[in-house]
Amino acid sequence: MTQQRPAMGRAIAAALFMLVACGQTPEPPKPLAAGWYEFEGSWVASGKRRTLPMGEDRRAAVIDLGGSLLLAGPNRPGVGFRGNVVGMSDTATGFVGRAVWTDERGDQVFSELRGQGTAKGNRLTGNFLGGTGRYTGATGGYEFSWQYVHETEDGSVQGRAVGLKGRVRLDEKAGAGPQGAGR
């Protein structure tokens, strides 16, 4: 019986430690000057691409992709999002599309995408166009290169963003910011 007491005491101490450690919430990120949040991140997505050959050296394609977008950095506006994109690319003229990032609360941030997306380059830039909830009035932008990592004959594709980084300004009057206060 005496051998069980030290083990039970350690178990209780470990449980108390876990309660205290888990009960602490990390301090929310603070915006940089004038409400700007800088971020880096990763974005992986899969979906469909429909390609239309336009002669020997040119192709047009329509894409519909969705996947996980994770942001990093001490001043990021959020952590995890569902990232969806629809767009059209032309190997001669580039890429035009729209993206919606949806966070864990259902708040969304909208952006337009433009880029090279040509046979010679794939650098894309996004401009934030506002959003819902804490992202209402969001402005700023981001950039990345897109890399397809898997393609099938039926048009299924998987890819990832390389070098994703940007900055966003959130409208504090709309209850923006990581806490979403005032929503």
Q: Quick: pLDDT tens for 17-33.
A: 443 444 444 455 555 45
Contact (CB, 8 A) for 113 and 89: no
Give the C-alpha separation, 34 to 44, whole Å.
31
- Which CATH architecture describes the domain 33-174? Beta Barrel (2.40)
Residue ranges per structural domain of the chain: 33-174
Global confidence as pTM: 0.76
In this predicted model, what pLDDT tens digit does every residue of 43-78 receive, in sequence order? 999 999 999 999 998 999 999 999 999 999 888 888
Which amino acid, one-letter code, is at 143? E
List of E strands, 35-183? 36-53, 59-72, 80-90, 94-103, 108-115, 123-131, 139-151, 156-169
Q: What are the structure tokens assigned to 164, written together?
A: 């994703």
